[in-house]
Amino acid sequence: MTERDPRDRIEEFARSGARRLDLTGFRDFILRGNVIDLAIGIVIGTAFTALVKSMVDDFLTPLVGIPLDRAQDFSDRYWTVGGSHFKYGDFVNSVIAFVLMGVALYYLVVRPMNSLMDRFNLTKGATTKVCPECKSAIPLDATRCAFCTVVLAPPPPDSEHAHPA
């Protein structure tokens, strides 16, 4: 039995480990754009959630407590029934935070995106029309229905689907 140099054995082990532990696929997955975008979205969403929760706890809850003649923290309110505490104040805070989050997302994300899509006409136009005889969906360029074989009027020449002569 021949004695091998321990350094050779370490180098051989390192090479075999590198073959087994190929992280290039994982690195490519992590560095793809949509994974990074998702991570950024989660971080921003978490920060926005903390902001809304703080606004509810520190600003809106005291406003709700004023008509109830309770200027202190509303989230500490609870009912006791049979030794169990029902924290309705926390629930009210959560409902207010949820509604505020929904309203904020609607007005800060959904409406601007819909407006942008309408402005630049980013939504796809219709690709089919209805056959007047059999009411089947057929392509816009069709001159004959594939289902009932009725002859259809050709599309107008100024339409975007008209073919140049």
Q: List strand residue ranges (DSSP E) for 22-154, in order.
A: 79-81, 84-86, 128-130, 137-139
Report pLDDT digits (tens) over 22-75.
677 777 777 777 877 888 889 988 998 888 888 888 888 777 777 766 556 677
Lowest mean pLDDT among 108-112, 146-150, 156-160: 156-160
Provide the token pair at 15. 């090479």
Question: What's the pTM?
Answer: 0.46
CATH number of 6-119: 1.10.1200.120
Question: Within the chain, which residue ranges are assigned CATH 1.10.1200.120?
Answer: 6-119
Report pLDDT digits (tens) over 74-122.
777 888 999 898 888 888 888 888 888 888 888 988 898 888 877 877 5
